[in-house]
Each structure stands twice: as structure tokens, then as C-alpha cells.
């Protein structure tokens, strides 16, 4: 089959929906020769910041001279973004070949995420990576990535998200994420809300897993123009993270702490590799500024905690007016996501992203008007961007936010790239 044909087949697996559990992925990996057993895996779980943290860590490993595999989801514009080695995406031909192997061995009912997880593990073995950084899906212990036994677990901030699957309280979600903690294996814990930190500490204690915590064991703080890291055994000043946003301080610090632990476990990572990795890291669609007149800022915050971090970071972006282009999924808390950003907006253009279950632009515009905003329904993402640019002055800032799917579609349009919409 061609790449397009096999991609359509993989996307068709969404008919099986979300089905937590490890039985299918374990059977699939066994049929593939258990590629996960030939990899040194770092798990990155959490709700907010796990993609950025994983990208920082993979960049540090690459700058240290290692081949670093990075598996993330969902993709922003292209399916191949999910599988990277030292920042380079898998080629379409390789993706089709690896997918063919996985599908030929997949048990009945194997889900989309299980297939792509197996693809990542197989691809990383073929590429001879020294470390595979795996971003967990929505879960932890029941997540398909959990089929690989990691040498280190990193847990980024937990927030209320995917509550229908993970639970409707912070402790309940933390207990699910804690399923990735392994007996005797180290854990790096980022900043956590009340009710989550104690869950992770207790889980680590019960399994004899040494655990270090942001704030207690390591931290980072901004000065006027750079970031200073106060680590487990070293300090680094003058860091300039390649991923924008003040909120990246905790993500960068968490990745640096993880790198320090890896340096004590066979990876030769000196301070120059840590510094270069933080500076060289890139993560499209997260506080990504596209130059022009007006400038366009892309950020994929898709829950209230992420939106609050976005709003705080906007102080670093001078502008005359802020025009917000936003599209949200109908199964998300639209009011909660937009609440931190709307008070900063002069105008809002609501859009409907080209994925299933998107909230209608008209309904979203109405919701914004109910909050006292000057809001209009802009139609599709392309139409909304055109409208925002027509209304913006050269010194204004256009912010695209509300969902990774809105941001991904907008980024593809602005950079004239192919867009492959898919939730999963």
C-alpha cells in the first residue's frame, strides 16, 4: 500500500475508540519480537507540559552526542511528526513500511494509539537510538506506552482533563498517571497541584523508586532575559530556552533534572550538553511566534491550567491590540479554557477546526459575547485567519489558541504546509 493508503487505514482504527489496557499492545509487541526490550526508555507523563518537557530532554540527549528517539501525540500538522530521531521526522516511506509490519501483527480490536506506539518502538530499534523518550497518551499505567519498562519516569503537572477516562478529581488522575512509576527506577516530579504531589510521593515510596521534586530538589527562575537552573548537583545561568513562554521554566528544569539523573546512569551529559539542549529545543505550536505585520502567536493550550500559563506569558509580547483567533473542541471546557485569555483580548474571531467534535464557531462567538467581548464567528480556520488579518493593524498581535487542532491547522495554512487533521 502507498503511504496515503496505509495512513487512511491507520486513521480508520479510531472506530475502536479509546480502550485502556495493555493486553492488545503486549500481544502485538510480542509478535513483533518485543522491540521495547531493546530500548532504554524514558517515560514522560502528565497533563500539561509533557510534550515540551520531552522535547527539551530529547534535545539535551542529542546535544550530548546520543541518538534520541522522541514519540509524541497528537501530531500538530503531519502524522510523521509523532516519530523523531534527533529532531528528524520519520520518512513517509519508512512510516508506511513500519506501519505495514505492525498492522500485519495487530490483534483484532487494536486501537490507533496502540498501533502508533508499536510503530515508534519498532522504528526506534531500527534506528539504533540510545534512548527513547516516550510521551504517554492521556493515561499512565493503562497507557499503551506503559508496555515498555522505562529506566526513568518524568511526570509533568497534572490537571483536570479526560475526566471521563481518568477520574474527575486531581488525586484520581494522579493515581492513574502514577502507574508509570516503576519499582526501584528514579522519578522526576515537576510542579504539581495540591492533591497530586502526595499521590506520587506515596507511590514512589511504596515501590522504592527514588523521587526528586521541583521546588524541593531542583528549581528554575527567570531574570530579565534568561533562565537560571538550580539543580540536583549543578547550577546553570543564562539559559535561553528554544521553546517560548515564561511557563517553560518548570518544563526546562524538569528536563534538566532528568538529564542529571541520566548522567548518573550511564549517559555522559555534561553542563555544555544540558545548556545547548535547552537552547536548541523546538516545539512547534507552543508559544511559537511567526514574524510579519501583524505577528501571529500560536499556542496549543487546551485546558484551563494551560490557558492560565499562556495568559501569564503574554506579558512578554508587546502589542497595540490583541486579536484572538480561537477554536475549541465541543467536549472541552470552552469557558474555562478561554477565561484567562479573554480579558486581554480586544477582539475575538471564533473558528471551527476541521476535526470531528469541534465546537461550532457561532456558538463559541456567542459564548465570548456573553463575557462582554467583541466576538464574531469567523467560519473555518482559514477564513478566521483572513478576517483577523483584515482587522489587525501592523502593531497588533494575533493569538491563535484554544486547541492543538486549531493551532495545527492555522500553522499549516500560515506556512503553506499540508494538514492532516486527526484526533488521537
pLDDT digits (tens, 9 = 90+) for 83-119: 999 999 999 999 999 999 999 999 998 999 999 999 9
Task: Determine how many CB atoms are found less than 10 A away from the CB of residue 168.
Answer: 9
The confidence score (pLDDT) of residue 194 equals 83
The confidence score (pLDDT) of residue 424 equals 54
H or E element: which one contains 50?
helix 50-63
The confidence score (pLDDT) of residue 99 equals 95
Q: How far, in Å, CA of 89 to CA of 178, rounded?
A: 30
Q: How far, in Å, CA of 348 to CA of 370, rounded?
A: 12
Task: Determine how many CB atoms are found less than 10 A away from the CB of residue 371.
Answer: 14
Q: Beta partners for 399? A: 297, 324
The single-letter DSSP state of residue 79 is: G
The confidence score (pLDDT) of residue 32 equals 97
Sign of the torsion formed by the C-alpha atoms of 217, 56, 125 and 97: positive
Q: How far, in Å, CA of 71 to CA of 208, rounded?
A: 27
Q: What is the CA radius of gyration of the chain?
A: 21
The confidence score (pLDDT) of residue 235 equals 96
The confidence score (pLDDT) of residue 339 equals 93
The confidence score (pLDDT) of residue 199 equals 93
The confidence score (pLDDT) of residue 118 equals 97
Which residues are CB-contacts of 121 (< 8 A; sequence separation ≥ 6)? 29, 32, 35, 36, 39, 132, 148
The confidence score (pLDDT) of residue 12 equals 81
Judge residue 324's burial from the number of C-beta atoms within 10 Å of its C-beta, 0-12 exposed, 13-18 middle, 19 or more buried: buried
The confidence score (pLDDT) of residue 16 equals 53
* Region of residue 226 (left: phi > 0; alpha: psi -120 to 50; beta: else): beta
Cβ atoms of 165 and 47 closer than 8 Å = no
Residue pLDDT, tens place only, 361-382? 999 999 999 989 999 999 999 9
Give the chain's residues under pLDDT 70: 14-20, 139, 160-168, 422-424
Q: How far is CA 400 from the centre of its chain?
A: 17
C-alpha cell at 84: 523523531
Single pTM value for the model: 0.92
Residue pLDDT, tens place only, 277-318? 999 999 999 999 998 899 999 998 878 888 998 999 998 899
H or E element: which one contains 290?
strand 288-290
- Residue 399, classed as helix, strand or coil, is strand
Nearest alpha carbon to residue 135 among 120, 125, 145: 145
The confidence score (pLDDT) of residue 92 equals 95
Q: How far, in Å, CA of 95 to CA of 89, rounded?
A: 10
Cβ atoms of 324 and 345 closer than 8 Å = yes
Amino acid at each position: 500500500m502507498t503511504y496515503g493508503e496505509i495512513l487512511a487505514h491507520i486513521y480508520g482504527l479510531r472506530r475502536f475508540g479509546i480502550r485502556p489496557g495493555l493486553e492488545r499492545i503486549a500481544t502485538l509487541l510480542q509478535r513483533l519480537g518485543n522491540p521495547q526490550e531493546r530500548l532504554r526508555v524514558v517515560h514522560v507523563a502528565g497533563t500539561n507540559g509533557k510534550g515540551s518537557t520531552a522535547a527539551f530532554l530529547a534535545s539535551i540527549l542529542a546535544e550530548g552526542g546520543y541518538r534520541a528517539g522522541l514519540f509524541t501525540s497528537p501530531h500538530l500538522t503531519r502524522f510523521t511528526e509523532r516519530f523523531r530521531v534527533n529532531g528528524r521526522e520519520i520518512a513517509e516511506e519508512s512510516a508506511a513500511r513500519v506501519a505495514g509490519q505492525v498492522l500485519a501483527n495487530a490483534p483484532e480490536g487494536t486501537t490507533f494509539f496502540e498501533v502508533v506506539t508499536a510503530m515508534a518502538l519498532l522504528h526506534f530499534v531500527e534506528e539504533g537510538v540510545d534512548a527513547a523518550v516516550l510521551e504517554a497518551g492521556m493515561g499512565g499505567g493503562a497507557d499503551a506506552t506503559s508496555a515498555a519498562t522505562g529506566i526513568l519516569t518524568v511526570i509533568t503537572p497534572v490537571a483536570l482533563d479526560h475526566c471521563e477516562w481518568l477520574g474527575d478529581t486531581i488525586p484520581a488522575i494522579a493515581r492513574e498517571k502514577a502507574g508509570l512509576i516503576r519499582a526501584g527506577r528514579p522519578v522526576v516530579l515537576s510542579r504539581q497541584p495540591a492533591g497530586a504531589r502526595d499521590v506520587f510521593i506515596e507511590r514512589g515510596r511504596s515501590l522504592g523508586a527514588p523521587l526528586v521534586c521541583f521546588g524541593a530538589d531542583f528549581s528554575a527562575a527567570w531574570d530579565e532575559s534568561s533562565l537560571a537552573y538550580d539543580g540536583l548537583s549543578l547550577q546553570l545561568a543564562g539559559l535561553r530556552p528554544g521553546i517560548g513562554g515564561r511557563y517553560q521554566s518548570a518544563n526546562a528544569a524538569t528536563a534538566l533534572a532528568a538529564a542529571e539523573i541520566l548522567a548518573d546512569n550511564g549517559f555522559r551529559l555534561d553542563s555544555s550538553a544540558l545548556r545547548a539542549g535547552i537552547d536548541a529545543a523546538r516545539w512547534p505550536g507552543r508559544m511559537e511566534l511567526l514574524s510579519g505585520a501583524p505577528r501571529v502567536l500560536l499556542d496549543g493550550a487546551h485546558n484551563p491550567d494551560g490557558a492560565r500559563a499562556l495568559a501569564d506569558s503574554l506579558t512578554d509580547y508587546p502589542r497595540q491590540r490583541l486579536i484572538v483567533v480561537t477554536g475549541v473542541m465541543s467536549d472541552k471546557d470552552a469557558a474555562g479554557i478561554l477565561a484567562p485569555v479573554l480579558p486581554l483580548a480586544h477582539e475575538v474571531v471564533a473558528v471551527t477546526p476541521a476535526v470531528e467534535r469541534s465546537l461550532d464557531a457561532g456558538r463559541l462567538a456567542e459564548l465570548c459575547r456573553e463575557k462582554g467581548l467583541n466576538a464574531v464567528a469567523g467560519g473555518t480556520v482559514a477564513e478566521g485567519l483572513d478576517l483577523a488579518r483584515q482587522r489587525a493593524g501592523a502593531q497588533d498581535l494575533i493569538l491563535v489558541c484554544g486547541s492543538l487542532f486549531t493551532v495545527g491547522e492555522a500553522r499549516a495554512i500560515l506556512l503553506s504546509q499540508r494538514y492532516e487533521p486527526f484526533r488521537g
